[in-house]
Structures are given as structure tokens and as C-alpha cells.
Structure 1
């Protein structure tokens, strides 16, 4: 899968950028433009043509329907779009809990859960994600709200990667080769057990009271790359009480 979001939509952690890119004459490869990244992705799945959806210069979503090594599902409803990688072993019980139809797949469920959190905020977002059993990674683009939400399960059976394109756009994919070819050294694994919302930032849903710490990352060639993010067990966040109509899902937990 591939998701590209303009820097007007997503403000990623500054540590994703490779420090060497800002050095003159560094001699390392440079990140590609979003247009080139789309071509790289399409060429990587030439035998199983990916399905894609563009939103002008704001966002681009694409996925290959191949089920290897993990199934990928896509859903779009009411200007909310989701690419889901993996499967939920407790999907049937979640469908009953949310009162959804039996034909609901993982991507459809995630959109409905997101809508519930966005509009009513009955639970903290980290609590909803902790209720998901199985292996999963997903990206949601809420076109009406102009927001992005992505999360990755904690069991590490699925990997997501994110990086920075030449124009500052954020690139997210489950294909490491595509990310490396697209973002050069300005990429890193998306941290497992974490979620990112474009209005809140990166947080751990496994440890919502702890801050995340950027850890320098050096590749096999000895070059500095985008940083990894780890839970800082010694650093706690200040709790934010839920008050008034502003206490929707995005702000229902400890803040970054």
C-alpha cells in the first residue's frame, strides 16, 4: 500500500528527515517527488496493477489487492478513505459491538470506529485500538476534516514505514523497498503499537501516558537516517481532562 500526504495536511516529526540531506555536497541520494514515487510504486506491482485514488495535490492512496504476505482492503464512504493491511481475529465481535452489518470488512470497520470517535468521542482512541485483536496497520484520510490517522498493531507481524518526499510530503507504505527508493535516507519504520493523527502527532496507544523518544538510526552503510521512535518509560505526559464539545477522540488522551 502507498499513501502520500502533502505537508499542508501532515506535519511529521522533524526527526524523520535525514540530517545529511541538509549538508552541502553530502553525495547521498535525494528523496523523489510524489509523481516519481507513484511511478516507483506502480512499477513494483506491475504484475498486479495497484488501485489508486488521487485528491489533487493534497493526497494520494494506492494499494495492490494481492493477499501476500497480508491481505489489503480498501473502503471509502462519506469522504473518509481507509487502506487496511492484515486482519482482525475479533472482527465478528467488533461488528456486533458497533452494530454493523455482517458483510463489514476490516477497512469498513476502521472507518466506522473512526467516525464514532471523531463525532462522539465515547472512548479514548488508544482504548479502541487496544480492543483490536490480530495483526493490522491502516491509514485513514478524512477529506472533509482534512485530517490523517494511521496506526500499527503492537505484535510486529506487519510493518509500516514512513518517510519524507522531496517536496516535504509524508509517504507511508508497507513496502520497505518502495520507501527506500522514494525517500532515500529520510525514512524509518513506523513504530509498532503507535498511532499518528495529523492534529495530535505521534503517540503510543499501548503506553498512552508515556512520551515517545526519537532514537538516531544508522544504516548498514554507516549513514544517518530518519530516526526510530521508542516509548520513553521514564517520561510521563500530563493528562488532559475531557471537557466540553472539544473533547472529541483526537484530544481524548494524554497529549504529545
Structure 2
């Protein structure tokens, strides 16, 4: 998945201005030939850009959009004898639509829409992610629920980075050289083995001098580790202030609480 972005302030009513800002942002920072990319308008001034290929998929339905990159060898609800990797490659070569990793993930997420609380959605997602095998990263944008979810495989084999621009755009991407140019100093690797869920309709803070997940009463979201521990069902994730070379706090480094069976997992925001 190449840099896609999600605006953090949904109370702004200047829809056209937000749409233009999103389009200009992607055009400027996603430096891939137009014939090899797909630009997606997610509505309300949000958008994504992906490089076309067999390992990057996008699926949308009823205001929910999934952008997925990687190759999953096994999904929890798929027969052990199935080969999703070969299936995706064959469909890409033949031009066949449907059945991609993004489609599977979209179907799973839509099944959670009747779940009453975001905490329960997160719990079920953590349970399922722990059983997924293979390198992957994804971002789900739900325009109806005003919700963003993102995750990365437990080994960190699939790249995924994130950060926030000065004007409050929460950005995700898999090419750090592109993303880093537009969201410095906050662009950092997304923590491997973790799931991010936004909290409320205010999902990103302007970095400023103190970092976008450190100050303020309302945090922009929650980061949870989906790897099981020896003594706890889920590993707790600790946020440690990230300091740049000038001694300024510019975000958080997320670390999975140390335990013998699970190595420390680093990422940041």
C-alpha cells in the first residue's frame, strides 16, 4: 500500500476544500506513473493511492474501504488446503475480479458492524489477527462509523509507516521515502503485531512540538498487540515518548510489554 491519508478533523464543513487538499496531497507525494496507480476518493476529504499489482488490493462497499498489501498464506476462516497466494496471482494475471485479500477482509469487517461497541470490535479483530499467517498490512476506513483501523503482521515483514502532517492529516504508507517527506518528523514504522483503532471522530492531532499522541485529554486512538502472552491473553502496548535530535518530543514509540515468549515490537506515531 502506497501513501494514503485520512483526515483527522471531521467537524470541518468545507468539504470541497478538504477534497482538493486530499487530491493535491496525493498528487504531490505519490510519485508513481498514472498508468500504474489508482487514486481513490474515500469521501469527506479522505483518499488513498495505490500502486497496481497482485499484492496490493482495495475493496469498497457501503462507505467502508479496505486497502490491503501483502500475501496471506492462511486466513482463520479458510481451509488449510487452500492457497490464497496462488489464487490472488492467478486472478491478477487473468484480470478476474473479486476474492482478493481486501475483499475477504471487507467481508469480515462488515460482519462486525452490528457489534455494539468499538471495544468488542477490537477484541474480535485481535482474536482473528492472531491466527493470520503471512506478511500483510492493511488500513480500513469506515466513513459511516467515522472509524479507522490499521494493522501489520507480527513479524513486521510487510512495511507500513504512519505519521501526521502539521495540519492534522493521519497518513499511512509503505514507501517511507515518500511518506517521510510529507509528515516529518512524525513518520515512523507502524508497530508490528499490532492493531490501531481510532477513538471518536477526532483521530489525529497536529504534531507541533509535543507529539500527536502525547498531549491532550482525548487520545487519537488505541494501539493493541494481538500476540498472546504467557500470563495475559493480549500483550499490553506501552507508549514511550520519542525525542528527536534536537531534544523535542515528536511522537511515541510503541513497545509491547516485555515477556519471554514475545519479543519487543517497535513502531511509533
State TM-score, norm by structure 2: 0.65
Instruction: Identify which of 40, 51, 56 aligns with 2:28.
Output: 40
In structure 1, distance between residues paired with 2:99 and 2:57: 11
What value does the CA root-mean-square deviation take over the aligned residues? 3.0
Alignment of 1:1-256 (within 5 A): 1-8=2-9, 34-42=22-30, 44-46=31-33, 48-67=35-54, 71-91=55-75, 94-95=77-78, 104-120=99-115, 124-199=124-199, 200-206=221-227, 208-216=234-242, 218=244, 225-233=250-258
Native 8 Å contact 2:239 2:252 kept in 1: no
- Unpaired segments ≥5 residues, structure 2: 11-20, 81-86, 88-97, 200-220, 229-233, 260-269
Native 8 Å contact 1:203 1:212 kept in 2: no
The ranges of structure 1 where at least 4 consecutive aligned residues each deviate by more than 6 angstroms after the TM superposition are 221-224
Native 8 Å contact 1:189 1:228 kept in 2: no
In structure 2, distance between residues paired with 1:191 and 1:48: 32
Across the two proteins, how many residue pairs are aligned to each other?
202
Native 8 Å contact 2:224 2:235 kept in 1: no
Give the structure 2 partner of residue 20 of structure 1. Answer: none
In structure 1, distance between residues paired with 2:243 and 2:72: 31
In structure 2, distance between residues paired with 1:2 and 1:94: 29
Give the structure 2 partner of residue 237 of structure 1. Answer: none
Structure 1 residues 47 and 56, CA gap change in structure 2 (3 angstroms): closer
Bigger relative contact order, structure 1 or 2 (CA pairs below 8 A, ≥6 apart): 1
SS of the residue aligned with 1:114? helix
Native 8 Å contact 1:87 1:135 kept in 2: yes
In structure 2, distance between residues paired with 1:96 and 1:77: 25
In structure 2, distance between residues paired with 1:47 and 1:169: 23
Deviation at 1:132, TM superposition (A): 0.9
